[in-house]
Structure 1
Amino acid sequence: MNIALMSHDRKKELMVQFCIAYCGILSKHTVCATNSTGTMVAEATGLPVNLFLSHEHGGSQQIGARIAYNEIDMVLFFTDPQTHDLDKDIDYITRLCDQYNIPYATNVGTAEILIHGLERGDLDWRDIVSPKTTPFTV
């Protein structure tokens, strides 16, 4: 499965801690992320992370395009509810995930449910409902 990671500045450390805790599960999948989040995760965990542009330079749009082309199977976007200037980016990713039936977590509680489901095979339906026609590359 292809897992996209994103996080607001005040949630980046939480994303890093989450990825450290679930490194064993994440290592069995392809991980991509916006630049600063992905760099922090890769350095802390040793996981290979395919990096998109930073948020400021269009990373959210790059991930959004991958969602639209069925190249993302799960999005973990740890959001800061007190950050109002990025509401349109949250809305953009949320709408795309809803439109294309992509499991999506905006907080660590929901992310843990998804990551455990991923480990159990609960998300294998993604391969049946939306089989990949092209390999994921950044």
Structure 2
Amino acid sequence: MLTVNSLANATDGMTRVALIAHDETKPDLIDFAREHESQLSEYELVATGTTGKRLQEDVGLEVDRKQSGPLGGDLQIGAEVADDRLDGIVFLRDPLRAQPHEPDISALLRICDVHDTALATNLASATFLIEGLAE
């Protein structure tokens, strides 16, 4: 059975999900968000700066934008995991061509493991995460 860290309850009961993508995978994340727009619009969304801007402009989702990845947005999202403020993260990374300025998944992976927070790193696991949170 899929278990997901459910904090969403402390304040307003909303499920809170972070969305992050390396430059080469941003189009994939935008397509994913379009395909799951009705479900994502039910969630409180958090994203790194550029990804969040694209989600707002290209998909029309409401997003709490953090700093861009190179400026520490991924660390801000990690802090939300540490504070039990996130139910899950979708981090579409480019495992073959990640650029030095892009967020590193290592710290997020570690903090998610420590706090038992779901972290999806590809489209298949992102679908499971979004569908699992809906249940």
Residue 74 of structure 1 is aligned with which of 67, 82, 88? 88
What's the counterpart of residue 108 of structure 2?
93
1:105 paired with 2:112, answer no
Distance 1:108 1:86 in 2: 22
| Deviation, structure 1 residue 47 | 1.0
1:26-71 CA-partner distances (Å, limit 9, x unpaired)? 1111001000001101111111000000011110111011110001
Distance 2:45 2:37 in 1: 11
Distance 1:101 1:52 in 2: 22
**Length-normalised TM-score, structure 1:** 0.82
**Length-normalised TM-score, structure 2:** 0.84
| Deviation, structure 1 residue 86 | 6.7
| Mapped contact 2:69–2:101 kept (Cα < 8 A) | no
What's the counterpart of residue 24 of structure 1?
38
Distance 2:100 2:109 in 1: 16
What's the counterpart of residue 63 of structure 1?
77
Identify unmatched segments of 5+ residues in structure 2. Answer: 1-14
Q: With CA pairs under 8 Å and 6+ residues apart, which has the higher RCO, 1 or 2?
A: 2
What's the counterpart of residue 10 of structure 2?
none
Runs of 4 or more consecutive aligned structure 1 residues displaced over 6 Å after TM superposition: none
Identify unmatched segments of 5+ residues in structure 1. Answer: 122-138
What's the counterpart of residue 49 of structure 2?
35
Q: How many percent of aligned residue pairs carry the same amino acid?
A: 34
Distance 1:77 1:22 in 2: 15
Q: How many residues align?
A: 120
- Is the alpha carbon distance of 1:88 and 1:13 closer, same or farther for their aligned partners in structure 2, counting shifts above 3 Å? closer
Letter in 1 for 2:72: G
Distance 2:127 2:79 in 1: 25
RMSD of the alignment, in Å?
A: 1.5
| Mapped contact 2:18–2:88 kept (Cα < 8 A) | yes
